[in-house]
A and B are shown apart, each in its own frame.
Chain A
């Protein structure tokens, strides 16, 4: 086994008493002494700081914004060209079969494109971008910066207390800030369904900045365990589980992320890997769809639970792809792929847990309403 990589906050995690686990090749904090449940609730009620430095940060640059944006559009089904300076969007890399190779956030910083990708996919993503876009576009993996998320209703007070300009940002804005003397690239976004920021900071200053944030009232360190339950309640996909190379964006209920200009009839329709499959799915619909699943009892239904249309016998209609206990909803929550004819909200279904069929129903996502600053 290869040695686990460490983020610039590794020493801090240990000092805080974190339980460290291997995740995507990194030694990461799954929880702190507070525990997953309290960390989750704290983030919804106050503010949490997450180390997400394992994620990939990449900058694409070229002769002009137009050139960079049009080049990136050859890899993603999003409207990149229409992105205003200082704004961010959700996106995904597709493959020739229309499947999703990774999901990502991309932001315009002047004429550059700043892309944040998943840790487990970052090597493949960087190789994909380099192969497709170099040498006309420069693809630079940023390996000397940490990424710190500050999430929750108290995030604005925490970050804006260090740089008041943070308060002027709205959801999906990006801006350079100076936090406690550290020059950072901040976006007003995250992966919890709460208001908050993701902050890219130079690696040698990340520890001091994180300690300064944690020293503020109402700010706690939050591990990957709570990050997962927060994003699940928020209805957000975990790559490799809720979406993967075998699921296309329409099946993944991510139609909203593909702007009209890239769909049939749009000025720049298609032109990304698997466009024929994805655009056909828009026209004809998909045979299955990612939906929320609300177990009726208290038993969590986790990834891999098979879903049926009857309490006994009947047909297999889908599979849970993420599931667990939602600390904010106070009960189990799940999402998964369900055949399209059983995917209407409210449809009663059964999930098989330990050989027993337990009732659940198709539910609206998110389970907990988003709390963004629009």
Chain B
């Protein structure tokens, strides 16, 4: 699993990448009450706002970590947004994407690096 400074995690599955937010990010957000997912098939560029996530406190955006195409979204989050608080780094993934340049992932941190980053 790789981690970004935007508190996202990426996991490679075949030629796809699964994206979610970290447990740390979910804790900072507080209780998640609403998730708006992108359309499957959408082509995105790194740093595009692709997901809106609202907690009891505020709305935040999740950015596309890399360039590519959204191949699948986790529709269960629409009905059960609290899954993000319960299993941020497991069941509560947000979307899968097909990277157009997998080397963009090289710069991301590993778990130890991320733990250090959040200090």
**Which residues of A are interface residues toward B (Cβ below 8 A)?**
31, 35-38, 225, 229, 298-300, 302, 324-325, 327, 332, 354
CB under 8 Å from chain A, chain B span 70-86: 78, 81-82
* B78 A37 Cβ-Cβ under 8 A: no
* B54 A225 Cβ-Cβ under 8 A: no
Nearest chain A CB to B63's CB is how many angstroms away? 15
Q: Size range of the interface on B?
A: 10 to 19
A-B contact list, 12 entries, CB within 8 Å: A36-B30, A36-B57, A37-B56, A298-B34, A298-B81, A299-B54, A300-B33, A300-B34, A325-B54, A327-B31, A332-B34, A354-B52
Nearest chain B CB to A37's CB is how many angstroms away? 4
* B36 A299 Cβ-Cβ under 8 A: yes
Least CB separation from A298: chain B residue:
B34
**Which residues of B are interface residues toward A (Cβ below 8 A)?**
30-31, 33-34, 36, 52, 54, 56-57, 59, 78, 81-82
Partner of A31, one of B30, B34, B59: B30
Q: A290 to B52: give the CA distance in the assembly, Å.
A: 29
Q: A146 to B56: give the CA distance in the assembly, Å.
A: 28
Partner of A300, one of B30, B54, B78, B82: B54
* B31 A37 Cβ-Cβ under 8 A: yes
Partner of B56, one of A298, A299, A324: A324
A229 cross-chain contacts in B, Cβ below 8 A: 56
A38 cross-chain contacts in B, Cβ below 8 A: 31
Nearest 6 interchain pairs by C-beta? A37-B31, A325-B33, A36-B56, A298-B34, A299-B34, A300-B54
> By CB atoms of chain A within 10 A, which of B33, B36, B52, B78 has the most?
B33
Least CB separation from B49: chain A residue:
A354
Nearest chain B CB to A332's CB is how many angstroms away? 8
Q: A36 to B31: give the CA distance in the assembly, Å.
A: 7
Partner of A225, one of B33, B34, B57, B78: B57
Least CB separation from A229: chain B residue:
B56
